Structure 1
Amino acid sequence: MGNHMFYLRSSVIFICLQLVLSLHVKKFPLLMPKVHPDREELYLCTPVRVALDKTFYIVGFEPNATMQTAHHMLLYGCAKPGTDDIYWDCGEMAMSSPNNSTLQKASPCKEGSHVIYAWARDAKRLQLPEDVGFEVGPGTQIQYLVLQVHYAHIDKFKDGSTDDSGVFLLYTEERQNKLAGVILLGTGGAIPPNSITHMETDCKINEDKIIYPFAYRTHTHSLGRVVSGYKVRRDRYGLDHWTLLGKRNPLTPQTFYPVFNRDPVLPGDVLAARCTMENKKNTYTHVGLTNNDEMCNFYLMYYVKEGTPLEKQYCFTSGPPYFYWNMEDQLNNIPDVDASML
């Protein structure tokens, strides 16, 4: 049995290596260019231009960061980057950040923003399924890749040290028949003091496309206890049927995990997410960019077998106390307990 298991494992490893080699996968470092973060809660972006004459398919991501340095990282695909600088201040509220910085202030993308990858809490490498890739380059909406790093704390840089956090992109020039995309569900809103609050969001798939979910990622700051995401399909009698796509404690490593159900999401289906937040503080906590604020995000990674990924990239609601799933008969048959407990 021991020898049999050894040969079986060896065969599996050999087959996996053959698959990787057959794709001619290469690695590209998209890293911060030795930056020196000079204040807490700083968001920095750095871009790379995709070659003008080649189409590439990103098939994996290897993070080069630790949570002691980076609070989180996002990788955007852009039609145009926020600026032409080597790096810039790119928090979503950059224009309202302190004016004593010499850095240009701009959003990650000037045009055509797509989230491709997200990382936090020492998450490990991500490999996409076979024959699935993010298509970038000529003829696509992604002409630039922009790395965003959030530096929540800067103690380690006070001695003048610099940083090269980022991600190694695994890519191939061989066409992948299943094109990947990401849709981000999130909320605004506020969490009352000494409360357990549900932050909820949903959106209907109105495009004539079938998407196949394969991975999900949850993200909150410190108050998150459970984040759950669903596919909701309404029958002809008006009853909603909920299919769990993913559920997780968001304070564990925040990478993309395999979805619980890979059945396709059809036109007319609704994607819905809930973050259960516990606020033990005596003050309100609002959604915002800093470590002292909160976020409620559910990322769904998917592929399409035909055509291009969804035009819709983001799906946000105003959050509590202005939006809940059950407002104005938005959704029914809600799995209230299942959505809030691990």
Structure 2
Amino acid sequence: MHYLLLISCFVTSIIGDALEPTNSVFLDRQKTVSFRWSYTDETITYEITVPGTGWVGIGFSPSGTMKGADIIFAWMVNEEPRVLDMHSEINGIPALDVEQDIRSFNMKQNGTHTTLLMDRFLDTCDEAHDFVITEDTTRVIFAYGRDAPKGNLPNFGSYHGRNRGVRSLRLLDKKLPVLNVEDDTSLKYFDVRIKPFTIPRRDTYYHCTYHKLPEFEKKYHMIQFKVMITPGREKYIHHLVVYHCKESLVTDQMLNSTEECYVNDQGDHWKYCTAVVVAWAVGMTELTLPDHVGFPVGSPGTPKIVKLEMHYDNVDLDEGVVDTTAVRILYTPNLREFDAGVLLTGHDVTPTLLVPPGSNDFVVHGHCTDQCLRGIMKHGNQTHVNVFGVFMHSHTAGHKMIVRHYRNGTELEPIAKDLAYDFDFQESKILPTEKTVRSGDNLIMECVYDTTKRTSITTGGLGTRDEMCFGFLMYYPKMDDAYCQATPDGRDLEKFFGKNNIGDVYYAAMTKKWTDYSRRKFNEVQLASPLLELCLINDGSIEGLKEPYDVPKIQHRYAESIGRCELEKRRRGTNRGWRPS
């Protein structure tokens, strides 16, 4: 009965039936497996409910599979719960942890369902087998079986069959309540909806339409955005962006047309529609703004015409698929304290975003330089802004994303980061603590790519297998919404390959026999190359910028704070793990 002794050493109490969750989702598409959780600075309490009265498993996985996962396995024995802290080194039966890091638990069955309630530290200090829960994306895996194990441990008779799954969540994100017009009669809404559109039989297609907003008799604040995907069309929609357009440049012909983006005169996109109103990507739910900010509408300079850009992903080349997706925007006459805006930073969509095949952690920087940011803030009559939310976006090769922040050569705490980025779960992040960005600061959108399973180069582009590197920063007080982006000057890339133009660079990169050394040296050249900037506001480009512009020189790097487990280990002067009580 070794496992029972282990549990009795570490479980402090049986927690009661009641749980007041701050978050609740279904882990499966059929909405049969519910997951609820709440957290403090040091602990997390979570509850899973599954069909049946056999066994239940819930875990946290770095990859979304059982391999490398931290797993809790539980079932009832003579009406008493048996709960085990386990781990899996393969996609198979998990193994028992030496340390049972379960602070408290409860389990109940009602004849049709099983519910397991758990409490643990975010960091249990079990470095070998337990998952550290952070603000990064967490892959939550689950499984359940109809029949309880016959012995003391899970066995082959405990196979889950199809009763398993995974869902990516950010467990420690700040969540805001979803608003509803039925609950608050002062709220109003309008939809930006495309006319019925047949998705082309193409792997990637960008569809652009222009829309007039309602005529507002006074100023309102837009406070919630919800994408209403046509049922059954979820797999086709990769992302969408709503842009604020200059109404004087949008013709009646454009308003009545639907066309492919970024072809023909759509190359003049920047001339017509510069500012981002809202962006959405696969995996996102509603975006609700904090109660002190709102995006203004109905006052001078606010959107009257918007452009809706839809990125369709039809990888199976299905035909006859009609879409009528809409963005529902809730607005209120009860104005918040501050008008909010969006600043877009990152790497422009160009081939200079070039990642060799076989790269593990290839770093790309999209700069928002001090000179561009200074120009934007001067034009907006601001000395600083407060960033309250961030949406970070890359494609399938992206696996880490960080919005870095620098002031006078010193790196500050990142504005936002996700070191376990999941392409299928791209959600806006409301920051737990707002970050102040001052005129003359530098921002870097850092995207880290994994192309170890690719045999050809990956470049910046519109397709899903191409790459992007964007950060949408939501801030207040509002300035003219702007693009603050930069890309490497191609001359250093040309020199690396011994070529005279960027087109030849692309061909040379395609045919090169890449090694770990050449990948590393090329990445160093990319990161150090002088910058060409895209520094735009609604009225046009910021004038007088030096170009090309040197990358910022950083004298002091930001040092992450040391966690309590590492601190206690150092205090004790030992490399052995410390167990929290």
Bigger-Rg structure (1/2): 2
Amino acid at match of 1:233: R
Tell me how far 1:118 sits from its aligned partner: 1.2
Which residue number corresponds to residue 527 of structure 2?
Answer: 324
Aligned partners of 1:231 and 1:243 also within 8 Å = yes
Distance 1:132 1:193, change over 3 A: same
Contact 1:23 1:172 in 2 (8 A): no
Q: Which amino acid aligns with 1:114?
A: A
- Structure 1: how far apart are the matches of 2:400 and 2:323? 32
Distance change >3 Å, CA 326–CA 64, structure 1 → 2: same
Tell me how far 1:297 sits from its aligned partner: 0.9
The alignment status of 1:285 with 2:446, answered yes or no, reads no
Q: Does 1:44 align with 2:207?
A: yes
What residue identity is the alignment partner of 2:552?
Q
* Structure 1 residue 166, shift from structure 2 partner: 2.5
User: Structure 1 260/198 Cα, relative in aligned 2: closer, same or farther at 3 Å?
Assistant: farther
Q: Structure 2-normalised TM-score?
A: 0.48
Give the match for residue 59 of structure 1.
223
1:245 aligns with 2:418: no
Residue 225 of structure 1 is matched in structure 2 by: 399
* Mapping for residues 1-342 of structure 1, pairs under 5 Å: 24-40=186-202, 41-50=204-213, 51=215, 53-65=217-229, 67-80=234-247, 81=250, 84-91=254-261, 93-95=262-264, 110-153=271-314, 155=316, 158=319, 160-187=320-347, 188=350, 189=352, 190-195=354-359, 196-203=361-368, 204=370, 205-206=373-374, 207-208=377-378, 209=382, 210-234=384-408, 239-248=409-418, 249-259=421-431, 261-280=433-452, 281-304=454-477, 309-311=478-480, 313-319=482-488, 323-324=526-527, 328=550, 330-333=552-555, 335=557
The 3-state SS of whatever aligns with 1:84 is: helix
Q: How far apart are residue 154 of structure 1 and its match?
A: 6.8
Seen in structure 2, the aligned counterparts of structure 1 residues 178 and 90 have a Cα distance that, compared at 3 Å, is: farther
> Aligned letter for 2:322?
T
2:276–2:342 CA contact under 8 A, matched in 1: yes
Cα distance in structure 1, aligned partners of 2:311 and 2:179: 35
CA distance in 2, matches of 1:20, 1:157: 38
**What is the Cα deviation at residue 178 of structure 1?**
0.8
Query: Counterparts of 2:463 and 2:178 in 1: how far apart (Å)?
Result: 41
More relative contact order in 1 or in 2 (CA 8 Å, sep 6+)? Answer: 1
* Equivalent position amino acid for 1:300 in 2: L
Q: Distance in 2 between matches of 1:161 and 1:315?
A: 37
Q: Which moved further from structure 2: 50-59 or 242-251?
A: 50-59
Give, as a single letter, the amino acid of the residue that structure 1 aligns with 2:243.
Y
Distance 1:245 1:312 in 2: 19
Percent identity between the two aligned chains? 23
The alpha-carbon deviation at position 231 of structure 1 amounts to 2.4
Name the CA distance, whole Å, in 2 between partners of 1:121 and 1:135.
26
Partners of 2:415 and 2:435 within 8 A in 1 = no
Describe the SS at the equivalent of 1:113.
strand
Query: Could you tell me how far 1:202 is from its partner in structure 2?
Result: 2.2
Q: Which residues of structure 2 form unaligned runs of 5+? A: 1-14, 21-176, 494-524, 531-549, 561-581
1:59 Cα deviation from its structure 2 partner: 0.6
Q: Distance in 1 between matches of 2:318 and 2:285?
A: 24
RMSD of the alignment, in Å? 3.4
Q: Does the CA contact (< 8 Å) of 2:273 and 2:306 recur in 1? A: no
Q: Deviations over 1:134-185 (max 9, x none)?
A: 1123411422122211112175851x33101231111123333311111111
Q: What letter is aligned with 2:438?
A: L
Whole-Å Cα distance in 2 between the matches of residues 18 and 292 of structure 1? 37
Could you report, residue by residue, the CA deviation over 1:24-48 in whole angstroms, capped at 9, with x for unpaired residues?
Answer: 1112121221111224222112232
Quote how far apart the aligned CAs of 1:276 are.
0.4
Q: Partner letter of residue 187 of structure 2? A: V
Q: Distance in 2 between matches of 1:124 and 1:273?
A: 23
2:413–2:558 contact (8 Å) kept in structure 1: no
Q: Residue type matched to 1:316 in 2?
A: Q
Scaled by the length of structure 1, what TM-score is found? Answer: 0.79
User: CA–CA distance in 1 between the matches of 2:312 and 2:484?
Assistant: 25
Once residues 245 and 46 of structure 1 are traced to their aligned partners in structure 2, the CA distance between those partners, rounded to angstroms, is 33
What do the CA deviations read for 1:65-104 (whole angstroms, capped 9, x no partner)? 364020111111112348523342242x322xxxxxxxx8
> Secondary structure of 2:192's match?
strand
Higher helix share: 2
Alignment gaps of 5+ in structure 1: 7-14, 96-103
SS for the counterpart of 1:46 is: strand
Q: CA deviation at 1:119?
A: 1.2
